[in-house]
Structures are given as structure tokens and as C-alpha cells.
Structure 1
């Protein structure tokens, strides 16, 4: 099983839009279609399809907030492919790609504090919780480079 991140293009965007999480995860993840639309009309948004071999199985979107910071806004693995280590492998690849961006000093991610696995999962990559976001809705965690 090979996990890769590939650009979202005209050839694969429909497959990415068809990906979805399980019903109990719906409150934690934004719709991929909405995310792709958002990325088309805003600067500094990067989208990637997560592939297992030749099959799209997930989605990432991150935003360069300023010259020093990137925020991961979207990260999901389709419900049919969860529990196989795909998310862990994909996040490692995404972090390597983000860290290669010139001048990046901080990577941040927000997640629902009620998500039972998020803190430990992101913490295992070095994200440290720093408190609730500015809207006081999601937990903010950062990696400082």
C-alpha cells in the first residue's frame, strides 16, 4: 500500500468530492466540495487528494496565513478507508511538504475539542495545544519549527 498526496485537478476533483466521513464524524469535518470551492476563490490555499495506490481516499487543504505560518484547514479520510494507517501516513507526508515551504516557522491545526482521538493523534506528530481558537469553538494546536 503506497500513500501519496496528489494535486486536486479536473481529472480527480469529482472523486474527491464523493469522499465522506462516517455519520458520527460529520460535525468534525467540512464538506470537500465546499473546501474546493473555497480554495478556488481565495489565495494561498493548497489542496491535495490523499491516494492509496491509485485510489483517492482522502483530502487535505492548508492555507499559508502569512510568510511564517501555515494552517491545516481540512484533513479527512473516507470512512471506508479509516483505521488502516492512511491518515497517519498522509499527515506525515503533508507535514514534510509544508515544512519545505520557505520561511515557515509554525504549522497550526484546529479541531473540535470533543473529538475523542484528535488530541493524541495530532500530539503524536508534535502538535501542542495552546488553547481555544479566536472564536472559542475549536482547540488550536501548533508545531513550532
Structure 2
């Protein structure tokens, strides 16, 4: 399939901000433009363009936390695949890529992601990648799902 993650650059910026969600999904995630702007103020945020065959097909962003000499924890908090590219496996491959990228940094405490409790598609999708539900966010009411380091 050839899905890869790339940093946001001058070369792919316009293509990434032009990506669109389906109308029914727009309330689930901030715009890519907002996310890229936000990342410029937070050095721990890692925005990534999802590319396949040289074309931007999606976007994701994650952050890392380091607490008092403990292993780092990661939070994937933005993730989208353009409406024209959904249903083709790009999202699944992109999530495998970001999990591999995070694991390449070394041991970690956990990788977390959140989703709306009524979003069964998201629940099934993240479970298929090894995420296990860990509770609800007090701030947002969203489900928190995690992958924990076993070692």
C-alpha cells in the first residue's frame, strides 16, 4: 500500500490543509490548519502528513509527556483521513506507522487516544490496533483507550 508519515513542510502544507472530512465527521476533530498552527507553540506536538503514492491522504498529531524520570507517555489526539480516501485502509496503515514511530523512540509507559463513546466505528478501529479502554476523560467525557508497554 505504501503509506508513510511525513513531517509538515512547505512542499506538503497546502495539500494537508486542503484535506477534508466527511460532513458527519467534522465535529470529531480540529482542522488540520488549526492543528499545524497549534503545534508551532508546543514543542512536544508532532504533526504528521499521511502520504500514499506521493499524495497527502490524511493527517495526525501526537504528543509526548515525560514525568519525573518515568517512561514517556504519548497521546495521539488528532487523526483524520480525507473523505475521498476513506475505506481504503489508509487509516489503519497510518496508525500502524505512528505506533511504530513512537515505539522507535524506546520504552514507554503508554500510548493513549480518545474518542466519543457513541462512535462505534472508532471503538472497533482502535481495538483492532491493540488499544484497550481505560476509562472516561473527566474533561471531555470521551473514552480513553491505551496501549501499555508490557516490558
Specify the alignment match of 2:91 in structure 1: 87
Q: 1:128 aligns with which of 122, 128, 132?
A: 132
- Residue segments in structure 1 that go unaligned for 5+ positions in a row: none
Number of aligned residue pairs: give it.
Answer: 145
Distance in structure 1 (CA, Å) of the matches to 2:137 and 2:113:
10
Deviation at 1:137, TM superposition (A): 2.1
**1:44-87 CA distance string (max 9 Å, x none):** 11111001111000001000022510100111000000000110
Q: TM-score, structure 2 length as denominator?
A: 0.91
- 2:101 aligns with 97
| Uncovered stretches (5+) of structure 2, i.e. residues with no partner | none
Moved over 2 A (4+): none
Aligned counterparts of 2:106 and 2:38: Cα–Cα separation in 1: 24
Mapped to 1, the partners of 2:142 and 2:65 lie a distance apart of 17
Match of 1:106 in 2: 110
> In the alignment, which residue of structure 2 is the partner of 1:13?
13
SS at match of 2:38: helix
**TM-score, structure 1 as length reference:** 0.95
